A and B are shown apart, each in its own frame.
Chain A
Amino acid sequence: MSHSGKTKKQFVRLTKSQRIQHIILVISTTLLIITGFMLQADRWFISIFGSASETIFWLRGIIHRIAGVSVTIVCVYHLIYVTVTKDGRSWVIDMVPKPKDVVDAVQNMMYMVGFKKERPRMDRFIYIEKLEYWSVYFGMFIVIITGSMMWSEYLWPKFYMDVAGAFHLGEATLAALAIIIGHIFSVHYNPHVYPMNRAFLDGMIDEDLMKEEHQLWYEREMKKIEDSQAGVDRNG
């Protein structure tokens, strides 16, 4: 509460492009999870729809395909984004896992349990964010391939369909649970960010949260500002 009365410094966490990519991913993934898991639904659930169930089934298929295509487009766009643009390149470079992440993970957990007084000084992306980010690559690779296979079912032997189905369902279950437990909990049900981390909306992070979770990044950004300030001062 030491900052009360004083406006907090804000830093850019997500650029506009990154936020748009994220929101498309959120909407498509939500639709995919809902329409996908409808297939695993039990009789009682289907009975809720009554006579509309056949139409809903048809819509389910259409929506699942549209959302699937959207996700594929966003993924392809993201691959281009991280290779071509400056923001994208800095993003992916900062995402590269480093040995320090392992040290951070251990120290952070020790801090959480109470064996350490301070959180480790972590960079722009902490180990758990890196894990989530690269998991999306792994997951998307699997669901896009197997999903396309099932969409073009007439090309493949039945056994390939069974394999594709098993992978698709397994990966979808894993992703859905990881998103709910790993991601939604950490950006909403987290005392540091309660009621939610607003970065996905306005792209900004305030200095309190930054110091708490990304101390190293904060120091780097501050140094940059100081340097440019100094530059301005020198020039001026």
Chain B
Amino acid sequence: MVLTTTSTSVNYRAVPDESGRFGPYGGKYVPETLMPALDELEEAYLQARDDGEFMAELAHLQHTYVGRPTPLTYARRLSERLGGAQIYLKREDLAHSGAHKINNALGQALLMKRKMGKTRIVAETGAGQHGVATATAAALLGIECVVYMGIVDMERQKPNVFRMQLLSTEVRSVDSGSQTLKDAINEAIRDWVTNVATTHYLLGSVLGPHPYPAMVRDFQSIIGCEAYSQMQDTAQGGPGRLPDVIVACVGGGSNAIGIFHPFLEEETVRLVGVEAGGHGIEGGAHAARFADPKLGRLGVLQGTKSYVLQDSDGQIALTHSISAGLDYASVGPEHAWLRDMGRSQYTYCTDAQTLKGFKALCELEGIIPALESAHAIGHVLELAPQMARDQVILVNLSGRGDKDLGTVMKTVGGER
């Protein structure tokens, strides 16, 4: 890993600009039908952000319903085993519905309910965590909800499909293309284009056309805001100082942006995003947009310009990851920009290394992580021993792993 020194002259709060750009990334690449809906959404969001009453209602729900603030846990046995840096976990797995996704889902659903004259929500889901979070928020607020999910993902995340149905959400299977997250997003956008007068598209990551990347980031920044204060406060379980490194997995990148953002001006804090390395970079069966110089290039997918895994003809590459939530060909535009600025760095973790992280956290800490979050742990297994004992790593443990038991049983179950 190359250490890059950051410059204080960059104003990280100045992005995106008015047209939704993070440097050369971002923007609004959507059919004309949706342009008014994006303008309306932006207006509603900007208004809500400055509306004390709205923000108070959201904060109240985050506290009394989601269970925020989520705790900070010192991973004592994992730290001792690795013999290097001290590892702290930000426990988004303990947020209601089992992942950080609820922060954004609740924010957008409340926004729709209070500020927009719409009655219906559509969403996409890969791992099912965003779908469950959206179904949860919709049930709480009494909103009709349809979630699109690739049939490959429905198979590997069955429990989450049933959870959504229990929450009275309609799950529609998507059998086009690669039948995973990207195709579910296409279908959700098609539904949105068709029903835009009544329907809000509750996008689940820092992707898509402006204002989504900025709005989702803002709803997720609560993770970093809490961690910022918890880390410095021993009474809240922190080490009493800022971390040296923050590690988070990056699919679209919402949990990573959420924990990174409040630390951007803290130059001593290194920010590391972990992409899905799948079966390794060389064969192309992965979802590591920044790591593959052959397939990962500037492109436009589903409304935003960013790094996109694609062939030489601009067709979107099929991705692979053991975790459905990271199995996506593009990455949030702000990540691409932060990387260009040298502020954050990106590495990847293969399926095999991820399973090592998964097992380590189960066995040493009594926490079953989501396979997405296990990518961050998998990287920490390599990173922590290279660091000194008085150094500190903060990991965003973005979700819990109940949904992944089937996948893990299939992969490692036989070894026991």
Real complex partners, A and B? Answer: no
Binding site for A on B (CB under 8 A): none
Binding site for B on A (CB under 8 A): none
